[in-house]
């Protein structure tokens, strides 16, 4: 039920590295938000100074107990998402959890169930849902520009993670399938899932085996290459890819094919800017290791990838006491983990896995 709107939202952040940084950046762009505190085991001084966050805590449980917060961003390594989200819910705080919702299906279900029982809103961080380019793509699709949707092809790829937690199969929950391909999986569910009614009924997965079986990253416990196919109940198919073998910067692309046309988006190399530099630039795009020569520098990268607007949407939901839409909900986050788990099973067995996910 809707209640009286809040004037400002008091936010806390758990974590202090990459995800916490773009959450703080996005919140600072929102005049409705006051970042009250950040909790982490390291890098506290740096992040609090950078974003003028007044309170710091070495223990997130202490922050949850002492601070009057409306919304908490969960920006810690994957294996901690479950525990932090549960602690937030049990303390009565609304939860914004970065991907993945958890590293196992069982833990993801528990996060959804506990948040529901606690009466707190659970937001799942699929930023692609709020990418301006992909939102415009959906506008064209809805007006019938490409006819009936038939097939979606989407990928997120780059040259490898620097996080020791992402390199560890146990703390990550896998490899590039759960860490990168989860974005195209979530967005395909958002596009084709009809708010969870058009279920994924069959998946096929194929990936490297980790460590010595990997193409490049022999020290990664999880795979460095993965692809998957999703079949929806209404007949559409989605082909998704995630890998750590793509050099030259993060490569995020989406293609949708319909009965009367097709539409394509380049999220990371589709910049309006083109730069040629002999010495190289300080930064052009995430995960590139060389900025010399011709490049396509990102313009407002966090906005174009959807981070700014997804967090603004969550803030508005909390302010107006509204439930999140499917594309940013715990339901979608759970479906992603169920599908990824089935893809891993398909890779192990060499067989298509049937189910009812969404």
pLDDT of amino acid 1? 34
Regarding whether 287 and 193 lie in a shared domain, the answer is yes
| Residue 312 scores a pLDDT above 80 | yes
Check the CA dihedral 186-191-196-199 and report its sign.
Answer: negative
pLDDT of amino acid 2? 42
Regarding whether 352 and 252 lie in a shared domain, the answer is yes
Regarding whether 134 and 124 lie in a shared domain, the answer is no
pLDDT of amino acid 5? 63
Burial of 2 (0-12, 13-18, 19+ CB in 10 A): exposed
Regarding whether 200 and 288 lie in a shared domain, the answer is yes
| Residue 343 scores a pLDDT above 80 | yes
Regarding whether 50 and 19 lie in a shared domain, the answer is yes
| Residue 6 scores a pLDDT above 80 | no
pLDDT digits 0-9 by tens, 61-86: 999 999 999 999 999 999 999 999 99
Q: What is the mean pLDDT of residues 193-222?
A: 98
80 occurs within a structural domain = yes
Regarding whether 311 and 296 lie in a shared domain, the answer is no
pLDDT digits 0-9 by tens, 171-189: 999 999 999 999 999 999 9
pLDDT of amino acid 29? 97
Regarding whether 61 and 113 lie in a shared domain, the answer is yes
Which CATH number is 164's domain given? 3.30.360.10
Burial of 66 (0-12, 13-18, 19+ CB in 10 A): exposed
| Residue 3 scores a pLDDT above 80 | no
- Confidence band, pLDDT 50/70/90 cuts, at residue 7: confident
- Confidence band, pLDDT 50/70/90 cuts, at residue 166: very high
The half-sphere exposure of 29 on its side-chain side, counting CA atoms within 13 A, is 15
| Residue 225 scores a pLDDT above 80 | yes
| Residue 329 scores a pLDDT above 70 | yes
Largest Cα–Cα separation, the chain: 58
| Residue 140 scores a pLDDT above 70 | yes
Phi/psi at 209 (nearest 5 deg)? -95, 5
Domain extent at residue 317: 9-128+307-328
pLDDT of amino acid 37? 98
pLDDT digits 0-9 by tens, 81-132: 999 999 999 999 999 999 999 999 999 999 999 999 999 999 999 999 999 9
Regarding whether 315 and 182 lie in a shared domain, the answer is no
Regarding whether 238 and 102 lie in a shared domain, the answer is no
288 occurs within a structural domain = yes
51 occurs within a structural domain = yes
58 occurs within a structural domain = yes
| Residue 303 scores a pLDDT above 70 | yes
- What gap in Å lies between CA 151 and CA 191, rounded to an integer? 11
2 occurs within a structural domain = no
Q: What is the mean pLDDT of residues 16-40?
A: 98
Give, in order, the Cα–Cα distances in Å from 25 to each of 164, 279, 288, 302, 306: 24, 29, 21, 9, 13
Q: How far is CA 182 from the centre of its chain?
A: 7
pTM above 0.95, yes or no: yes
269 occurs within a structural domain = yes
Which CATH number is 37's domain given? 3.40.50.720
3 occurs within a structural domain = no
% of the chain exceeding 90 in pLDDT: 97
Regarding whether 243 and 138 lie in a shared domain, the answer is yes
The half-sphere exposure of 108 on its side-chain side, counting CA atoms within 13 A, is 25
Regarding whether 319 and 351 lie in a shared domain, the answer is no
Q: What angle do CA 76, 267, 192 make, to 5 degrees?
A: 85
Regarding whether 249 and 110 lie in a shared domain, the answer is no
Task: Give the number of domains in the chain.
Answer: 2
280 occurs within a structural domain = yes
Return the HEC string of the chain: CCCCCCCCEEEEEECCCHHHHHHHHHHHCCCCEEEEEEECCCCHHHHHHHHCCCEEECCHHHHHHHCCCCEEEECCCHHHHHHHHHHHHHCCCEEEEECCCCCCHHHHHHHHHHHHHHCCCEEEECHHHHCHHHHHHHHHHHCCCCCCEEEEEEEEECCCCCCHHHHCHHHHCCCHHHHCCHHHHHHHHHHHCCCCCCCEEEEEEEECCCHHHCCCCCCCCCCCEEEEEEEECCCCEEEEEEECCCCCCCEEEEEEEECCCEEEEECCCCCCCCEEECCCCCCCCCCCCCCCEEECCCCCHHHHCCHHHHHHHHHHHHHHCCCCCHHHEHHHHHHHHHHHHHHHHHHHHCCCEEEEEC
């Amino acid at each position: 039920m809707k209640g009286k709107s809040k004037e400002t939202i008091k936010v806390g952040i758990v974590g202090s590295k990459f995800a916490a940084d773009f959450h703080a950046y996005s919140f600072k762009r929102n005049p409705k938000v006051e970042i009250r505190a950040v909790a982490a085991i390291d890098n506290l001084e740096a992040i609090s100074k950078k974003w003028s966050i007044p309170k710091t805590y070495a223990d997130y449980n202490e922050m949850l107990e002492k601070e009057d917060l409306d919304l908490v961003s969960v920006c810690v390594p994957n294996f901690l998402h479950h525990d932090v989200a549960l602690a937030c819910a049990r303390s009565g705080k609304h939860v914004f959890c970065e991907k993945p919702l958890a590293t196992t299906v069982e833990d993801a279900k528990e996060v959804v169930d506990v948040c529901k029982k606690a009466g707190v809103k659970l937001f799942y961080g699929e930023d692609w849902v709020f990418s301006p380019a992909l939102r415009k793509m959906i506008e064209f699709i809805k007006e019938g520009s490409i006819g009936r949707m038939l097939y979606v092809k989407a990928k997120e790829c780059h040259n490898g993670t620097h996080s020791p937690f992402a390199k560890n199969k146990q703390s990550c929950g896998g490899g590039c399938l759960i860490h990168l391909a989860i974005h195209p999986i979530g967005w395909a569910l958002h596009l084709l899932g009809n708010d969870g009614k058009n279920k994924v009924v069959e998946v096929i997965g194929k990936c490297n085996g980790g460590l010595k079986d990997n193409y490049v990253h022999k020290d990664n416990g999880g795979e460095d290459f993965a692809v998957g196919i999703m079949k929806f109940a209404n007949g559409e198919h989605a082909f998704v890819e995630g890998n750590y073998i793509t050099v030259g910067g993060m490569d995020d692309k989406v293609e949708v094919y319909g009965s009367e046309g097709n539409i394509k988006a380049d999220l990371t190399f589709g910049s309006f800017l083109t730069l040629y530099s002999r010495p190289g630039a300080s930064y052009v795009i995430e995960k590139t290791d060389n900025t010399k020569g011709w490049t396509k520098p990102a313009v407002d990268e966090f906005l174009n990838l959807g981070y700014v607007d997804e967090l603004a949407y969550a803030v508005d939901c909390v302010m107006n006491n509204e439930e999140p839409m499917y594309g940013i909900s715990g339901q979608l986050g759970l479906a992603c983990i169920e599908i990824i788990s089935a893809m891993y099973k398909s890779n192990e067995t060499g067989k298509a896995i049937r189910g009812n996910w969404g």
